[in-house]
């Protein structure tokens, strides 16, 4: 494991690998996004480009699946109340500040900071979900694959009964799409403050004349027992399991693992499998590996912990 210096001038809020693990994007309070390419010869990370992407702190970045474009596509969200979609221009010089161009600005309907943005799994099409302090989860979809400047707002789901003031510092929102293509319906998790909800799609009534997208979403269950702000949520790849594993990291110091079993109706039955408080302080990030067998967590204790179940049941 070899660290590298990003060169950001402020706090780094997010770091994401692309689909192949050969590129890294970082987001910072210095309002810049930086992309790094892995050099296999020197086993080091080389700066692809750095550019001012927003007018305030950038909180999250997300890579689109490579099947949707011959160029790499990024999305970012910020305290400036916007989501932006970026495309790499391979003909531009590395480090020129012009290698990534803006395709679209989204979430202009939001009344506050955007806390999370994430592309949906590729089997759902080119969809982008985001949530901000107004407590509304929004889904945008690119209906024309040849024109990634054109995005349509297809869904708005109010998660909170009332929105938070934009200046609120004690806010926590996150989203996570179900990675499995074999579930009966499209599903995702939305985290708002100390609550976590799983939503599932239901077909719209075509006879009703509704032309705003082709799906409705209903809340099917909650993620219980959190005693503080939920800072992170991660949905494990199923890898042939007959159930789903979902992990959360919480301000109360606990890493929780939930077992979600899909019923015949498409709903979920939720069971708490494990609660670990080894960090003994706020847990900021959790993430499963690509097989859903190892969970990593990071907290205010400055330690990265890896969790692996040793029982047959999980």
DSSP-derived 3-state class of residue 124: helix
Reference 192, options 221, 152, 233; nearest CA is 233
The pair of structure tokens assigned to 164 is: 């938070």
Query: Is residue 130 within 8 Å of residue 107, measured between CB atoms?
Result: yes
Reference 13, options 121, 113, 106; nearest CA is 113
Confidence of residue 205 (pLDDT cuts 50, 70, 90): low
> Looking at residue 165, what is its pLDDT?
55
Q: Higher pLDDT residue, 239 or 127?
A: 127
> Looking at residue 311, what is its pLDDT?
65
> Looking at residue 266, what is its pLDDT?
73
Q: How far apart are CA 155 and CA 158, in angstroms?
A: 10
User: Which has the minimum average pLDDT: 38-42, 53-57, 160-164, 276-280?
Assistant: 160-164
Query: Is residue 132 within 8 Å of residue 190, measured between CB atoms?
Result: no
Q: Higher pLDDT residue, 282 or 210?
A: 282
Confidence of residue 108 (pLDDT cuts 50, 70, 90): confident
Q: How far apart are CA 166 and CA 44, in angstroms?
A: 39
pLDDT tens-digit profile of 248-291?
999 999 999 999 998 887 788 999 999 999 999 999 999 999 99
pLDDT of 210 higher than 50: no
Query: Is residue 152 within 8 Å of residue 141, measured between CB atoms?
Result: yes
Distances (CA, A) of 177 to 59, 119, 124, 191: 18, 8, 10, 12
pLDDT tens-digit profile of 109-151?
888 899 999 999 999 999 999 999 888 999 999 988 789 999 9
Mean pLDDT within 17-36: 97
How many percent of the chain have pLDDT more than 90? 75
> Looking at residue 309, what is its pLDDT?
82
For the whole model, what pTM was predicted? 0.90
> Looking at residue 212, what is its pLDDT?
46
φ, ψ for residue 73 (rounded to 5)?
-120, 135
> Looking at residue 106, what is its pLDDT?
94
Query: Is residue 219 within 8 Å of residue 190, measured between CB atoms?
Result: no
Confidence of residue 8 (pLDDT cuts 50, 70, 90): very high
């Amino acid at each position: 494991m070899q660290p590298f210096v990003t060169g950001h001038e402020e706090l780094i809020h997010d770091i994401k690998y692309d689909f192949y693990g050969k590129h890294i994007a970082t987001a910072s309070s210095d309002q810049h996004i930086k992309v790094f390419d892995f050099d296999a010869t020197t086993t080091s990370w080389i700066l692809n480009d750095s550019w001012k992407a927003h007018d305030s702190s950038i909180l999250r970045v997300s890579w689109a699946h490579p099947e949707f474009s011959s160029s790499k596509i990024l999305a970012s969200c910020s305290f400036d109340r916007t989501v932006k979609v970026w495309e790499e221009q391979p003909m531009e010089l590395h480090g020129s500040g012009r290698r990534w161009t803006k395709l679209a600005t989204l979430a202009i309907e939001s009344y506050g900071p955007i806390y999370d943005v994430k592309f949906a799994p590729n089997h759902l099409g080119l969809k982008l979900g985001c949530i901000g302090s107004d407590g509304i989860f929004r889904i945008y979809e690119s209906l024309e694959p040849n024109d990634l400047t054109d995005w349509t707002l297809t869904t708005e789901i109010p998660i909170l009964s009332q929105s938070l003031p934009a200046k609120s510092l004690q806010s926590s929102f996150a989203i996570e799409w179900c990675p499995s293509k074999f579930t009966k319906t499209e599903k995702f998790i939305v985290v708002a403050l100390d609550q976590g909800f799983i939503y599932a799609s239901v077909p719209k009534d075509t006879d009703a004349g509704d032309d705003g997208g082709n799906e409705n979403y209903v809340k099917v269950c909650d993620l219980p027992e959190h005693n503080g702000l939920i800072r992170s949520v991660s949905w494990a790849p199923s890898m042939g399991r007959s159930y789903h594993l979902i992990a959360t990291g919480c301000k109360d110091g606990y890493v929780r693992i939930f077992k979600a079993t899909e019923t015949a109706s498409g709903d979920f039955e939720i069971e708490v499998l494990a609660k670990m408080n080894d960090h003994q302080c706020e847990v900021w990030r959790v993430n499963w590996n690509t097989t859903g067998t190892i969970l990593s967590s990071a907290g205010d204790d400055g330690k990265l912990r890896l969790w692996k179940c040793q029982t047959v049941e999980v």
